[in-house]
């Protein structure tokens, strides 16, 4: 199928809508990861994607840039629909350059370390990880509507040498006794 002719690196007037994302859906294989993402970005505007690890921030950016295999919805860049455009063509349009110029991806470690080093003014990360970096002031949680709870499960080997101790620890972690400890650490049980 031939791609529509797209302008290379369009330039938008100040305040003009540059990127419009509507009902963006994305899949990794059979797993439906993004469910109806919507946002707009105007020329000169900075937009922040907030969320816990695994909430879909990176998948959203990859979907906008066309590097997710299956995606549906609408992604318009400078008025042009690009949902079916190849990732290399999207890159030539300048979207990746704009995103990468303003973003720092922390592959490993704590984003809060970027605050201490002076590389960033704000870090968004799970509170348990923010509190591990000395000198960080936690200024509050992200608004409740933007939070996506993490659900943890535990597992152990059937023939574990200390199966009884592991089972006791799991029962303790699931008990009301652990609530004050979690709250003292800045976590909300």
Q: Does 10 map to a domain?
A: no
Give the pLDDT of residue 6: 46
Give the pLDDT of residue 144: 61
- Choosing from 68, 102, 136, the residue where a domain stops is 102
pLDDT tens track, the chain, 189 positions: 444 444 444 455 667 888 899 999 999 888 898 999 888 888 877 676 766 667 788 888 888 888 888 899 999 988 899 999 888 888 888 776 766 665 666 666 667 777 777 776 666 677 777 777 787 777 766 656 556 666 667 778 888 888 899 888 888 888 888 888 877 766 665
| Full residue range of the structural domain in which residue 176 is found | 152-189
Chain centre to alpha carbon of residue 172: 31
Distances (CA, A) of 24 to 52, 54, 91, 94, 114: 19, 17, 19, 20, 31
Residues 54 and 82 in one domain: yes
Contact 132, 110 (CB under 8 A): yes
- Choosing from 102, 120, 137, the residue where a domain stops is 102
12: number of CA atoms within 13 Å, CB side? 20
Give the pLDDT of residue 102: 58
Task: Give the number of domains in the chain.
Answer: 3
Give the pLDDT of residue 2: 47
Mapping DSSP onto H, E and C, the string for the chain reads CCCCCCCCCCCCCCCCEEEEEEEEEEEECCEEEEEEEEEEEECCCCCCCCCCCCCCHHHHHHHHCCCCCEEEEEEEECCEECCCCCHHHHHHHCHHHHHHHHCCCCCCCCCCHHHHCCCCCCCCCCHHHHCCCCCCCCCCCCCHHHCCCCCCCCCCCCCCCCHHHHHHHHHHHCCHHHHHHHHHCCCCC
Give the pLDDT of residue 86: 86
Q: Does 2 map to a domain?
A: no
- Choosing from 75, 102, 129, the residue where a domain stops is 102
Residues 42 and 95 in one domain: yes
Give the pLDDT of residue 130: 74
């Amino acid at each position: 199928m031939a791609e529509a002719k797209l302008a290379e690196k369009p330039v938008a007037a100040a305040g003009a809508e540059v990127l419009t994302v509507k009902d963006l859906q994305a899949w990794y294989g059979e797993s439906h990861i993004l469910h109806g993402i919507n946002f707009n970005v105007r020329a000169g505007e900075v937009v922040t994607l907030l969320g816990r690890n695994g909430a879909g921030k990176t998948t959203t950016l990859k979907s906008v840039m066309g590097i997710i295999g299956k995606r549906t919805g609408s992604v318009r860049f400078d008025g042009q629909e690009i949902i079916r455009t190849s990732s290399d063509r999207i890159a030539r349009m300048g979207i990746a350059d704009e995103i990468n110029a303003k973003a720092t991806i922390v592959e490993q470690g704590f984003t809060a370390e970027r605050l201490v080093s002076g590389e960033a003014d704000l870090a968004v990360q799970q509170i348990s990880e923010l509190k591990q970096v000395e000198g960080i002031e936690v200024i509050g949680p992200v608004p409740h509507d933007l939070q996506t709870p993490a659900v943890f499960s535990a597992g152990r080997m059937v023939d574990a040498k200390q199966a009884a101790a592991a089972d006791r620890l799991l029962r303790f972690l699931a008990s009301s006794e652990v609530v004050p400890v979690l709250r003292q650490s800045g976590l909300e049980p």
